[in-house]
Amino acid sequence: MCPDEVTITPDAGPFEPGDVLTCSADGYDPTYAWTGVFNGQSIGTQTGSTYTILEGDFQVRCTATISELTCTEKFESVEGSAFGKYCVQRNTVIRISMLAHCL
C-alpha cells in the first residue's frame, strides 16, 4: 500500500535547539528523506525518520517513499526558528531551556 499522508511532529513551534522532528507515514515500509535549508544553507539529503533541529532558521521537508511499490512521493514541510536562551553563570555563557532560569 502506498502512503496516503506524511506527518511531521511537532509541526509548529516554539522550537528549541535539540528538538527532534519525527516523520511518519502509513503504507508498506516507507523510507524517509529530509531536505531543506538551515540558516540559508542546504542541508543536503538526510535519511531516517527523525531530524534534530539546530540553532537558527530552518525549512525542512520530509519525503516518504516505498521502493518496493510504484508510488507517488508524498511529503510534508515544516519551518521555523530555534533559538536558545543564554545567560552568564559563574563567568560562563550557558544555554538554558525555556523552563529554566539563570541563577
Task: Determine the Cα–Cα distance for residues 76 and 17; give it in Å rounded to an integer.
Answer: 21
Residues 30, 89: Cα–Cα separation, whole Å: 46
User: Residue 1: inside a domain, yes or no?
Assistant: no
DSSP designation for 15:
B
| Amino acid identity at 37 | V
| pLDDT per residue as tens digits for the range 35-44 | 999 888 999 9
- The CATH number that applies at residue 33 is 2.60.40
pTM of the model: 0.72
Question: What's the CA gap between 4 and 82, in Å, rounded?
Answer: 30
In a domain, 82, yes or no: yes
- Residue 30: pLDDT band with limits 50, 70, 90: confident
Quote the domain boundaries for residue 82.
6-96
Q: Confidence band (pLDDT; 50, 70, 90) for 34? A: very high
φ/ψ of residue 44, rounded to 5: 70, -145
